[in-house]
Structure 1
């Protein structure tokens, strides 16, 4: 049996003064991780989701975080995960 997995990366721009708070909120999303930040407020986010709708939902959530100026999808790949028996 296999399931679809969606791996995506996003580029967020955030207020540098709110960077730590924004990163904590990103990390609290299911499947969300902060891959890289810079002091100017750029954040590279990776997401692992079960469907494309979850990517869109997470992007909407991310864009509404206080301090986030923009969120853009940079990469998306879909692959089959095989369940081990």
Structure 2
């Protein structure tokens, strides 16, 4: 059984006046951590998933949230069951 964990970092850009609402919507998504945000409406989020397909689905979901101007994958890493990078 493959115990690979995919870690992905995204930058999500939204309308600044909708920052709080977008952050609230992001916080509702599973396996997602909110990190930094700016008053200009840019946010850094980290996703965890078991495969690339789940990362892409979550990225698409984020891109469709109200107020989101765009979301871009910035970093992707694979970790094995021991936590070592693959």
For normalisation by structure 2, the TM-score amounts to 0.89
More strand by share: 1
How many Å separate the matches in 1 of 2:49 and 2:4? Answer: 9
Q: How do 1:38-77 residues align onto structure 2 when only pairs under 5 Å count?
A: 38-77=38-77
Q: Secondary structure at the match of 1:59?
A: helix
Q: Secondary structure at the match of 1:22?
A: helix
Aligned pair in 2 of structure 1 residues 61, 16: CA closer, same or farther (>3 Å)? same
Q: Which runs of 4+ in 1 moved over 6 A?
A: none
Moved more, 27-36 or 56-65: 27-36
Residue in structure 1 matched with residue 6 of structure 2 by the alignment: 6
In structure 2, runs of 5+ residues without a counterpart are none
In structure 1, runs of 5+ residues without a counterpart are none
For normalisation by structure 1, the TM-score amounts to 0.90
Aligned residues: 82
Q: How do 1:5-24 residues align onto structure 2 when only pairs under 5 Å count?
A: 5-24=5-24
Q: Secondary structure at the match of 2:81?
A: strand
Q: For each residue in 1:28-49, what CA deviation from the matched residue of structure 2 results, as whole angstroms up to 9, or x when unmatched? A: 1111111110000001010011
Q: Secondary structure at the match of 2:80?
A: strand
Q: For each residue in 1:36-80, what CA deviation from the matched residue of structure 2 results, as whole angstroms up to 9, or x when unmatched? A: 100000010100111100100000000000000011000000111
